[in-house]
Structure 1
């Protein structure tokens, strides 16, 4: 039997990384009896090892809790634990669209940070009732009153009734539960209307197939019902309906305002796209829910096995991982230097790092990752045979001939950086060096908020690492894409012994090409071992070499056996050696060790 909508509260928890979101979720589950003390573990909703180790949430999770409130009514609370990182912003927006309110968790010592800001504005756009929670009040450095003022100044919401809590110690948990019940509105929805449910998330379960997390907006979703996905255009039969408490509980139906899961014999996660609308096939809704968009990869890189024999294993592992993550895309590619591998698309750098780490850990693979690059839009001077005048370039190695290119455009982002005052100078210099355009600079307490427009190309390498090291870890960074802009971009090739190495080619801005090229060849000189012949390492744009280093040859002393005698004897032997070296250089191949690739690409921007 469906739960009456006026006793349902749907809410999510918004917070910056490491502000105590997962710990608070643990305490709420524990307090409402979702799990016994014996079954409880820390970060219970983070079910991947990487999530627990890094203290981040990668997949949105949901849990249904029963809370007997002080007014005598038992309420059903649906908690959505959303990822905090910018790479998963679309997933967060769909999770927020499934709720009526949000708990805004702010660290009493750290204050408001960049990702808190991005997600809270999304929440305000969805017309949510926001309940501020000032967490970690038992820390020695906690300044709850200062943070209360900061929430009002920076975000502009009333924090006079903010709940003071410590999720770790269990302080203020009852007050938070009461605030959820009294301040967050119940969902609306007509149970007699045609079914309209939003697909909030989907993942692959080896026993159940694809599991779909849904929020019913109107109508009733029953077991045995024939449903259609309005955006994907597919029809499926619902064979299981249920909810998580956090253990699976089977239900007969889901009514308006309820959040639960269904399975419908779907084999591929790509068919169940986040944000799609489910409706009854026999009695469909007039229009789909708004806000659906195709998830587009932003960063691309090549993944190659260190051992060429692992290629089939890599193919199998990537296919399995794709079952759980529809936003990750891949296609096969080959490289003269690295052999067979895959060109993969990711939502951002954290997403790339997580996929790479999961492949290494869960599938025991040693991988080489080529330099990450973004998608460039190239306008051609003349249409190609198929009549196309604009192409999307994912791999620098596929760049067309310079004479055929009219313009190259690159993606730009709007970045918000929060940084303590004493580190501001070095952060501003970092942004200037990366071709940033300053939009705004304001102060909130002892911290500066800098807003910059930056090319995404300059951010994907190591911008985040540099930001953290320059600010001793205190800066926080968040960004939104703002579209494409034309730029003076060129393809820089790296030649080793006059042979181009396609895995090291990259697209750079003409102004920074020389510095980037010089840094790359200097690093490769240190990393490539000496051979019996001289090896030139060059960075070139088109036919013009912009930087060069030479690895000197290992020298065998051929004149060691000459004792005295005429100098021409020595000369004859040295000339013979010289000819041999020239011949060897012509036919000899340079073996670049895998470690050299990894080091050169990982540090591809530390110039």
Structure 2
């Protein structure tokens, strides 16, 4: 195939969640005739079951599309489909760094939302050309002129170049492809420079090892070439290279400006890092590419295998998952109640749930997650500073001078009629209003400063239900502020269960303890003895639920007779229950731990 860099276009699709990115990618693939009608399915780039079920994109996917323009030239469009949810903004940043242009999709019925702005600023930071696209024009509630005004007023983009389309029906998609090849610049033809390729993703193939997704910035990479991974120092010989169609399509080489994959028999998963630079082992480049900004996890939870024999399998599964989820971090951990496991960091609660489901489905593991927590800063009386995300590491309260928790700047965009309930929700979550701006006659932008711990559990769900799905939410971590932090312990039959401990704001402790105790009462099966479930701060019990004993009717055999005979049998049973309670072990099912995760639900 002739190498013509002026006919290559590398672009990504960015938007707020549920504005139609994956549907538009489906239309592009249809137009390129990459799949037959028989093999076609909706959300074709969403390869995971969980993506299809939830209707969200979690993994950024790449695909190379041939497109013959009206000028008769055949262009090679390298598309990277990106997630829209705030938890997966890291995936978006990686996709953006491999492109020269971006399609910014805006829903014609909902307009510009919080994540639309956040993703646009990310694209501007990477100096991408941005082409606005107004999607869902087939809906009865679509207001194209109103959205054009928003593009001009809110985004500061040229509303005259915005392309109105319907990704569902295919209306306007041909015009969009024509505009794309005109508007997005081709890559720089740096084929004679030393090899510089950016790793923007990777996945594990059980037969071939690690499949590395790359964007070649300069030079060329071909079969049999020895390459160097600059960050890890790994040297490998290229066994296969190619481009992404719906499957992989082999090529002899990849050249500057192209997006594709390399296979080099890499079995050590730790040798491949997203953001690393691949260069030639001989006469390679001297400086690595800028890569990606380091994203820090904000939510922490421990993962344990239900069966302790599955520990090695869990370690292998997490390593493979880390390959195409670079934002996941983990370290070894142990618990008295649950044995050996891993302490993991996530970008948000949805990210945590997705990792849990992927471990269970893709690797067939039974696992338990502990209650999620954020990272707090604690200053001790002797001046020592600690960073704590695990309740078990929380020091004795008498040694603490003060504690600080992370705060976020939350940006909410909502229709004006829902402002009241949303302000109440933010106040409930200890939010402080920083600004309230009417973007136009229908929409209001609210900016709140609030603790990250408050938005962890159910904030997003409540926001969506209060606004009937119309409000949008984006946040960034700003600073740490003083807080009154306590460790909430859960005692079952008088024994603290370390895996159920939580770090909470003191005023919320009693409410959280009641919720957890209530959930556990419903999940733990009844035993032969009475089981108290208690929430405690130190030695102070602040909540209690009791699971009543399974009781055999010992008086059933007494037909009449003296009452003292029945009483004697009941007293004997009572003594037996007391002895059993002292030596009996309470079996905690996996659901009991999972229920604590959702202890803030109103169900």
CA–CA distance in structure 2, aligned partners of residues 346 and 106 of structure 1: 28
Residue 454 of structure 2 is matched in structure 1 by 458
Q: Give ranges in structure 1 of 5+ residues lacking alignment.
A: 384-388
Any idea what SS the aligned residue of 1:374 has? Answer: coil
Aligned-pair distance for 1:331? Answer: 4.3
Matches within 5 A, 1:361-380: 361-380=361-380
Q: How far off its partner does 1:493 sit? A: 0.8
Mean Cα deviation higher: 391-400 or 79-88: 391-400
Cα 1:532–1:190 shift into 2, 3 Å: closer
1:500 is the counterpart of 2:496? yes
Describe the SS at the equivalent of 2:154: helix
2:388 is matched with: 393
Question: Which residue of structure 2 aligns with residue 144 of structure 1?
Answer: 144
Aligned twin of 2:60: 60
TM-superposed CA distance for 1:11, in Å, is 1.0
2:595 is matched with 599
Where does residue 220 of structure 2 map in the other structure?
220
SS in 2 for 1:516: helix
Query: Which aligned pairs between 1:473-512 and structure 2 lie closer than 5 A?
Result: 473-512=469-508
CA distance in 1 between partners of 2:252 and 2:551 (Å): 81
Residue 518 of structure 1 pairs with residue 514 of structure 2: yes
**Superimposed CA distance per residue, residues 26-69 of structure 1 (whole angstroms, 9 cap, x where no aligned partner):** 22222234344444332222222222222222222222222222
After superposition, the C-alpha distances for 1:423-455 in whole angstroms (9 at most, x for unaligned) are 322222222222222222223342322222232
1:272/1:306 CA distance change after superposition, 3 Å:
closer
Distance 1:8 1:566 in 2: 94
Q: Which residue of 2 is the match for residue 76 of structure 1?
A: 76
Q: Does 1:423 align with 2:422?
A: no
Q: Partner residue of 1:272?
A: 272
CA distance in 1, matches of 2:247, 2:526: 60
Distance 1:180 1:324, change over 3 A: closer
* 1:449 equivalent in structure 2: 445
Summarize the Cα distance change of 1:520–1:284 in structure 2 as closer, same or farther, 3 Å threshold. same
Q: Check conservation: 2:269, 2:319, Cα contact below 8 A.
A: no
Task: State yes or no: 1:85 paired with 2:85.
Answer: yes
1:113: how far off?
Answer: 2.1
Distance 2:242 2:325 in 1: 22
What's the counterpart of residue 414 of structure 1? 409
Equivalent residue in structure 2 for 1:537, among 529, 533, 538 = 533
Asked whether the 8 Å contact 1:268–1:323 carries over to 2, the reply is no
Distance in 1 (alpha carbons) for counterparts of 2:403 and 2:352 = 25
Shift of 1:102: 0.9
The answer for the alignment partner of 1:243 in structure 2 is 243
1:386 aligned partner? none
CA distance in 1, matches of 2:202, 2:484: 41
Give the RMSD, CA atoms, in angstroms: 3.1
Deviates more, 1:353-362 or 1:130-139: 353-362
2:406 aligned counterpart, secondary structure: strand
The whole-number CA distance in structure 1 between the counterparts of 2:197 and 2:541 is: 59
Whole-angstrom CA distance in 2 between matches of 1:212 and 1:363: 21
State the Cα distance separating 1:13 from its structure 2 match.
0.8
| Equivalent residue runs for 1:39-438 within 5 Å | 39-306=39-306, 314-315=314-315, 317-382=317-382, 389-438=384-433
Residue 347 to residue 268, structure 1, CA distance change in 2 (3 Å): farther
Distance 1:285 1:428, change over 3 A: same
Query: Deviation of residue 592 (structure 1)?
Result: 4.2
Alpha-carbon separation, structure 2, partners of 1:67 and 1:345: 41
Give the SS at the match of 2:300.
strand
SS in 2 for 1:545: strand
Structure 1 length-normalised TM: 0.89
Check the 8 A contact 1:306/1:594 in 2, yes or no. Answer: yes
Report the alpha carbon displacement of residue 257 of structure 1 after superposing the two structures with TM: 2.0
Q: CA deviation at 1:513?
A: 1.7
Equivalents in 2 of 1:575, 1:37: separation in Å?
75
Per the TM alignment, residue 349 of structure 1 is displaced from its structure 2 partner at its CA by: 1.8
Tell me the secondary structure at the aligned position of residue 155 of structure 1: coil
Tell me whether 262-271 or 152-161 shows the greater mean CA deviation.
262-271
Which residue in 2 is equivalent to 1:440? 435
TM-score (structure 2 length as normaliser): 0.89
The aligned length equals: 601
On the 8 A contact 2:93/2:292 being kept in 1, the answer is no
The change in CA–CA distance for 1:432 and 1:270 in structure 2 (over 3 A counts) is farther
